A and B are shown apart, each in its own frame.
Chain A
Amino acid sequence: MKTLFTELRTSLLLMIVLVVLLCGAYPLAVWAGAQALFPGKANGSLLVDKDGVVRGSTLLAQNFSSDRYFQPRSSAAGNGYDATSSGGTNLGPTSQKLSDSVKAAVAAYRTSNGLGSDAPVPADAVTSSGSGLDPHISVANALIQAGRVAKARGLAPDKIRELIAANTEGRDLGILGEPGVNVLRLNVALDRAAPAK
């Protein structure tokens, strides 16, 4: 009984010490270091326009659906691109629902980008990402969309391809991961190159 009491006392005291250290001092130390060294990133990589209005985060996808913009991957986060409810469809490989949505997405993608009825469609263009907030699309996907955007904006296709290249994030260290085009940054660059009339 005495042992139990001592053990309980030690547990409680140690828990208090560790809470102060690990739940107080540790995150505060990281916070101080992060705010001093990388303030932009520590606060969400926010994209702020010239009027000081926050327009999004360069790390998070937001919805673009008009022909004038590059379109991100479809999103299963909340009702779509909801950054407080991240997640994927979690539909399995033999899901009827998933198959139906892929079928519809393939048809829509071919129509809006003027592809033939048997042209292969990039997988990332017709599937949802794991987070529902994937900021990137594949380079192949961007190049297919380039024609549509060029036409809608009256810009030269070469100029669009230039912007795609400028907003492509390559593999880290030249090896890690896959290259992706940051849709939000690309669309901002588009607006800058050809402002809305």
Chain B
Amino acid sequence: MNNPNAWLQFALYVGALVLITKPLGLYLVQVLDVQGRTWLDRIVKPFERITYRVCGIDPALEQGWVGYTLSLLIFSLVGMLMTYFILRFQDHLPLNPQGLPGLAPHLAFNTAASFTTNTNWQSYTGESTMSYFSQMVALAIHNFMSAASGIAVAAALVRGIARHSARTIGNFWADIVRVTYYVLVPICLVFALFLVSQGIIQNFKPYTTAKTFEAFTIQVPKVDAAGKPVMAADGKTPVMVDQSVDTQTIVQGPVASQIAIKMLGTNGGGYVNANAAHPFENPTPLSNFFQMLSIFAIPSALTYFLGRMVKNQKHGWSVWCAMFAMFACGVLVCWKAESSGNPIHQKLGVSAADGNMEGKEVRFGIFSSALFATITTDASCGAVNAMHDSFTPIGGLVPMFNIETGEVIFGGVGAGLYGMLIFVILAVFIAGLMVGRTPEYLGKKIEAYDVKLVMLVLMVLSATILGFTAWASVTAWGQAGLNNAGPHGFSEMLYAFSSCVGNNGSAFAGLTAAPADGDPHWDTALGIAMLVGRFLMIVPILALAGNLAGKKLIPSSAGTFRTEGFTFIALLIGTVLLVGALTFLPALAVGPIVEHYLMGAGTLF
């Protein structure tokens, strides 16, 4: 923590984030209004019109919450099925120079659910599983569409809050088309080219074979003439033989275009297995900085959008401040834990000043890794530039807890704002109970139906995470996937289900969800968790939006709880932390917390 340079990096990041919040927020106000005007109209408008005409969309025709939800669900289903079938049959499709085979049903289901829900959990190794066609079509389409859908839902909820005595909350089709055409594509075009300038690849060549400077010997399983591994006399352990390696196969492909939307759309699904730790996905500290900024850009701007739409900019900034306070705490705790390092390794002779470098890259160092880990889990991004599984217990607890708050600390694009607004309504309700008045939010009464919807969202999510984790931890299939023993093994399971229900997608990546023996349990359970986490959240939220839109405005009075300023911020943070802490503290206690003390005592597993 006594590294002045790290404080400068932090200050630079926060400064840049504050600077883009208002302009991007104002831009979103225009984009999310079908009548809105932007400076890109001259170029983009024709494309927008043609799209509406081809698809038979009337952008001016607004939908009620049922119609809006139906459109979203059907569109998601179509996308998910398309992805599933492309992955199953990629060997019969073009752009597959490595000749990769089609995916097994459970892996294709898991991956299709994962990308449709903006989770981007990856049970596979990208570079040796996915053809260029699968990457570009089956996966990349969802990087755009799940992001656009998230923003659309947030916009619908904000409209529901801002309007009164209204029956409609917007047009789903116009929302996703406009967000994609005016926000995602233009920013990604520029961003992707910038990333190439830093060293990210963008080509369609087959993988390159390089002749390395020194040959070295590795041990590989011996195979017989039929390509089956030869087993030793006991029939279990494979016979190993030496093999000399003097080449390195270098991955190629259209990476930059995919990384740009992966970060901006808080998707997080990497082109390669190591994700943003890989030099081809994140070559320099500068590319790292802009990738981190792009994760928070839209979520942060949406708080400004909220303030503008409800005509109370202080409310927007208050929500921003609550998010920022929790974000800053997370960064400081994670940084402190990682820079303190691992006392067990330090006793073996590792320099204590260097911190915990296992699973981290030299070019990013401790601080940029801790900052990235906090950002990616505050948001529902899930890209990683260091391996969270190898973080110290407290360093790893921060990302896990961030996800378990429901990813409302800036959060995913759209998902962060609508998740936070759930907590805002709960906070207002609690404040109302405390003073004994009917709770009001921005001039509307919050009634039993609204609070029931809010509680439905919160309870479904936590019950799914804890229920699945409990199930996995007492079954053979659950434990078979683990890479670590002791409390860390439990953390791997808890992290996996938190990440999938929260639609984050990062992992304690030692966990093997697609084992070599083809056991489909993990893939299937995680796939279901992702669908529950996405759609059982979105449907009640849209119902809430519809209900709020229909309410009448009541004039504010002296007894109205003000939704801006310090008291509100403190109450909002308190609500998020209390719900998160009370629900997950017992589980965290048997995972990272107990591991922290065991590490101090030098216990190994």
Contacts and interface: CB of A to CB of B under 8 A. Distances in A.
Contact of B12 (A4, A13, A175): A175
Interface in A161-182: 169, 171-173, 175-178, 180
A128 B603 CA distance: 21
B218 A79 contact: yes
Interface in B165-181: 173, 177, 180
B595 A131 contact: no
B348 A128 contact: no
A123 B356 contact: yes
Contact of A43 (B185, B201, B393): B201
Contacts of A134: 279, 361-363
Contacts of B456: none
A16 to B, nearest CB: 8
A79 B359 CA distance: 16
B348 A19 contact: no
Interface string A68-89: 0100010001011111111111
A42 B202 contact: yes
Interface string B70-82: 1100110111001
Contact of A122 (B258, B278, B351): B351
A180 B354 CA distance: 13
Interface residues of B, number: 131
Contacts of B252: 43-44
A95 B605 contact: yes
A12 B491 CA distance: 41
Contacts of B567: none
A123 to B, nearest CB: 3
Residue among B193, B248, B272 with most chain A CB within 10 A: B248
B386 to A, nearest CB: 5
B364 interface: yes
Given A14-B75, A80-B218, A120 B356 contact: no
A148 interface: no
B202 A35 contact: yes
A94 to B, nearest CB: 5
A124 B508 CA distance: 21
A35 B251 CA distance: 17
Interface of B: 5, 8-9, 12, 47, 51, 54-57, 67, 70-71, 74-75, 77-79, 82, 125, 127-128, 136-137, 140-141, 144-145, 173, 177, 180, 185, 188-189, 192-193, 196-205, 207-214, 216, 218-220, 245, 248-252, 254, 256-258, 260, 272-274, 277-280, 283-286, 288-289, 341-342, 344-345, 348-365, 368, 384-387, 389-393, 396, 483-488, 491, 508-510, 595, 598-599, 603-605
9 contacts: A41-B199, A60-B248, A80-B218, A93-B599, A95-B484, A122-B351, A127-B359, A176-B9, A177-B286
Given A127-B359, A177-B363, 4 more contacts: A14-B75, A34-B256, A41-B197, A63-B245
